[in-house]
Amino acid sequence: MKHMNSAMTTLARQANKTKRTLSAIRGAGLACLLLSAASISTGIQAHTLTVDIDNIQVQTGALMVQLYANAEDYAAGHNPSASMIKPVTKTEHRLVFSDLADGQYAVKVFHDENNNHSLDTNMLGVPSEGYGFSNNAGSFGPASFKDASFSLQADAQITIHIR
């Protein structure tokens, strides 16, 4: 009987040792998981882009602002990374785009004076409402993505002058 109690005590000690080992392994695994999550979350950069728009001639309608992250969508005018509509109440406005990843971006803006959600043009195709692009590009027609694009690697502020 004494021999059996000794064997059971040994088994209990081994079971406790196994539990402690498993607990340590779980703890180490959890620590690794938390460290991995922290390194992943710190690897993703979320930036803020502040866009100041000035030289607004008429205080009616709305600013239609679109932010693009690639040349194809920019040229087509589809699938902006972000967009905003800002009612015009003064000659200059500030808009803020948040949670942007590192990359190349370009901004298009037009002043929809009559709220028809379209950039109006005259008979020759020249815009009759205000417009602008990042880098104030496009002096002689619409700006290309190459001319309007800028690199965003940290929080940034740009100014677009409405024409």
Name the E strands within 33-155.
47-54, 62-68, 82-87, 93-100, 103-112, 131-133, 150-152
CA distance 49 to 94: 10
Give the CA distances from residue 148 to residues 2, 24, 41, 84, 101, in Å, rounded to whole numbers and listed in that order: 88, 55, 30, 18, 18
pLDDT tens readout for residues 85-104: 999 999 999 999 999 999 99
Backbone angles phi and psi of 75, in degrees to 5 = -65, -40
pTM over 0.85: no
Write the pLDDT tens digit of every residue in 33-66. Answer: 444 444 444 456 799 999 999 999 999 999 999 9
Find out whether 18 and 68 touch, Cβ atoms under 8 Å. no
User: Residue 145 — pLDDT band, cuts 50, 70, 90?
Assistant: very high
